[in-house]
Amino acid sequence: MAGRDLLEADALRSFAVFAEHRNFTLAAAALHISQPALHVKIRKLAEALGVELYERDGRRLTLTAAGVQLAAYAQDSRRRADEFLRELHHDPAPTLTIAAGRGALRWVIGEAIRQVGRRGRRVQVITADRDAALSALSAGRADLAVIAHDPPSRQVEARQIAAYRQVLVLAEAHPLAARRQVRLRDLDGLDLVVPPAGRPHRRALDRALLDAGVRWQVAAEVDGWDLLVHLAALGVGATVVNGCVGLPDGLRAVPVDGLPEVRYWATWRPPRAHLVRDLLDQFRPAGGAAERRRSGAQEPPR
């Protein structure tokens, strides 16, 4: 059977399910077929296309670059089939799947999700860090990913949807809390609650404080804006977060001069542009056309 024939047959659906699970046992159970039968389907598909679709890393199975491309194609095909059936039977609009971090879901796009839901759109959420969100997007498991800091690669579409100043959060009784703004060197000697080493926010903060010659101590390492602020409220130490983060009583946020704004990007693959339009409509384009990046496809039509 030719590669095109297989792409139009059951093997494509089987590979889509396998790509979601990255596990033959789980995928076979989801497809209600035997594991050997699924192995045969995937092997014949790889042979027909002339590429390797997955590889083993110890006990883990990972998709090759070709496998990621095929998984996205398979997911898009499944999505188009689902949309056709919904239109045929006059069903509601398709589910919108969003991959984003906890902070972005709570403070950056929460209201946009609420507005889309009020219009009758069902939203599914994948809580994921930057790498996992982009992986879900590229494999077709998510329609839209929301990421912070740097824009994504040019293989996808992206729009900047928000930018926030970084603020020092500390107790209202602290001497720095009375200021309208602090400089990086004002943080000298502080105990700080920070994300774990290696997180983008931590790396950027480490670099900025080092360049400014600031001496500081790690009071605690926790993941997530909400936990950073929570520990600051408990008196463990001060923290630096995005200006969009809500604060409990007793804390004050003071803008930090010398730290860059944290930018947030909504990103999608061109085949899903029509699915993400209504969520993107909730945001004002940041910086106009100059902030929109294209890879050959159009901005979601209005």
For the whole prediction, is pTM greater than 0.85?
A: no
pLDDT digits (tens, 9 = 90+) for 57-75: 888 898 998 988 888 888 7
pLDDT digits (tens, 9 = 90+) for 92-126: 667 899 999 999 999 999 999 999 999 888 899 99
The ranges of the chain with pLDDT < 50 are 1, 3-7, 286-299, 301-302
**What domains, with CATH codes, occur in the chain?**
3-75 (1.10.10.10), 92-163+263-293 (3.40.190.10), 166-260 (3.40.190.290)
Using a 10 angstrom Cβ sphere, with 0-12 exposed, 13-18 middle and 19 or more buried, the burial of residue 116 is buried
